Amino acid sequence: MDDEQPMLIFITEKHPDWFVYTRHPAFSTCERWRLPPAADCSKVLDFSAVIKNKMVSMVLLYSSGHVCQSEILLASSEQNVEAELLVSPLLQLPEPADTGALIILDDSYIATLTPSPARKKDCLCIWNTSFQTLQDCKEFAQKTWTQLWTYDSKLFIPHANSLLVLRYACQQSCLASALGKGKETQKSEAVSIMNWGELIGSPKQSEPTPAKNPHSVKETPSSSEMSFPLEILPDIQMAPESQIPSLVQRASMSRDLVHLQVAISSIAQGLITRCKKEPKFYPQSSFIKLLESGTLSYSLCPDLITLCVEKQDVQLLQLCLEQFVDLPEDMLCLCLKTFLSVGEAILSKANLNTKSAASYIEEDERRKKAMKMETARPVQNGFSHPIVDNCGVQVLNKRRIHKTGGQFSPVTIRRAVLLNSVLTCPFSETFLLPHLKDLASDQAILFLDYLFYLYKKCNDNFVLSLPGQERLSVMQVLDWLNIILDANFTVLVLTPEAKNLVRSLQKYMKSQMSFFSELNKVEGSLAEIPKFRKPTQSCNRYSIEVLTLY
């Protein structure tokens, strides 16, 4: 407990009811709580509890295989009133059991020890309760006493005539650890086995074999595949860069999807760690191979985006945007800033597919020639103009901003391809809006100008989506237009360079609203026409009706 005072908690059965008793030294009475009966009439096999902030968190194991949780608020009460606890399901074990043990390891991890009738073995399982996933499993050939204790990050299990001690480490609960791979992989291993026969003076027995790693006890053909990436991790840290692609190729040979994901994420994290230690080491082709496998996610290697930004590798960043479905909004905004600020010299060296964007991105040839001349201008006596010297920053030309709203794209086709990869990424406006407020004024103006250009292209061609593999839709362009204006409206209003852009955008949107308003009037008039039609009468008379639409 927080105050380091002992606490007594026990469960009793009075068929068909179960009761929980709590007794605290600070309180003079023993409180009793009633557990609601299980729907399947199963019984409680074991329970574990932790106390934090005067709250008892209980986890109960039922014979049906259900694991449930409940909470009890500790408070001094003079009236001993029996209350019913609220029990909520936590997870479901694969098989029911007649006996079993359960213990809480962490806020997000529990351990269960139950017999498996199908395998005729006892199974020790580590469960992630946050994601309801199995983290580790160990089988015992002989029967155990289905008892568990934990102390100082060690599990104590009576096994035959020995006491098995297993060391464990609980990682921070996240999607990466639930899938089987976090930043640092730590595995439980046996540190000692105490022979009870020797303690009571029985004859010496043969040395007991140490318990195997929980990962390696699974009797499946793919267990060797699980340990393979860990075996080649030292090679990745020491091998020359020319040998890295072959190691990556070997690691991606696993046929099992889960094991392949663990292998790929282990290799990726190892390469990232080495890149941080050795600035000159950067195996781009290996990273591309890992991303193209389709098994990586942001949760498995969160440092990859930051590394690509540091190296200004826009090709790898674009691939990350395509493959990472769990990319957070702050990383999406970081990629947007990089694409807006990276220099044209770096863009020209990147291997980007511009075939689809060439059908709607029209570049100004005169501006392209001017940019090439600006980049190729010689530097005299070690001095360069700040615009030329800062080759990693896209500097806006005021003359170009003045001519905004024309028929040419405000960005080059390579930069447009990168920006399109950002526009097609899913996002939450609530989480993205605060990060977009950090855009520099020139970046916000350039991005808004490009969005305006795309919107006009969709309207001029009367299409709802632009051609290309990413299938950029007009609704996505409008969503980004709205969120950029919301995030940077004050900056755009107060910046002189954005005056013409905002004015052109306002006029164009106003004309669009007027056009659609007239279309709505026509639609309403056409909808009224059937009401004026009269049924045909069998007579020789006729009439002419004139309908005025406007």
What would the CATH number be for the domain defined by 8-199? 2.130.10.10
Beta-bridge mates of residue 104? 110
Read off the DSSP letter of residue 473: B
- Reported as a single tens digit per residue, the pLDDT across 102-129 is 999 988 889 999 888 777 788 889 888 8
- Reported as a single tens digit per residue, the pLDDT across 278-304 is 989 999 999 999 998 888 888 888 899
Secondary structure of residue 112 in the 3-state scheme = strand
Q: Name the nearest CA neighbour of 432 among 311, 307, 291, 337.
A: 337
Beta-bridge mates of residue 288? none
What pTM was computed for the model? 0.52
Q: Which two tokens stand for residue 149?
A: 């204790």
Q: 272: buried, middle or exposed (CB in 10 Å: 19+, 13-18, 0-12)? A: middle
Q: Which two tokens stand for residue 193?
A: 């086995």
Identify the pLDDT of residue 59: 93
Per-residue pLDDT at 27 exceeds 70: no
Read off the DSSP letter of residue 132: T
Q: Name the nearest CA neighbour of 88 among 132, 54, 135, 142.
A: 132
539-541-546 Cα angle (round to 5)? 130
Q: Name the nearest CA neighbour of 138 among 160, 161, 119.
A: 119
Q: Give the integer Cα–Cα distance in Å for 70 and 92.
A: 16
Q: Give the integer Cα–Cα distance in Å for 398 and 413.
A: 20
Q: What is the mean pLDDT of residues 441-453?
A: 92
Q: Give the integer Cα–Cα distance in Å for 39 and 208.
A: 44
Identify the pLDDT of residue 440: 92
Identify the pLDDT of residue 519: 78
Give residue limits of the domains in the chain.
Answer: 8-199, 220-326, 328-376+387-527
The answer to whether 298 and 324 have CB atoms below 8 angstroms apart is yes
Q: What is the DSSP string of 176-229?
A: HHHHT--SS----EEEEEEEHHHHTTPPP-PPPPPPPPTTTT--STTHHHHHHH
Q: Give the integer Cα–Cα distance in Å for 189 and 211.
A: 7
- Reported as a single tens digit per residue, the pLDDT across 384-438 is 444 334 444 444 443 344 345 557 889 999 999 999 999 999 888 889 999 999 9
Rg of the chain taking only CA atoms, in angstroms: 34
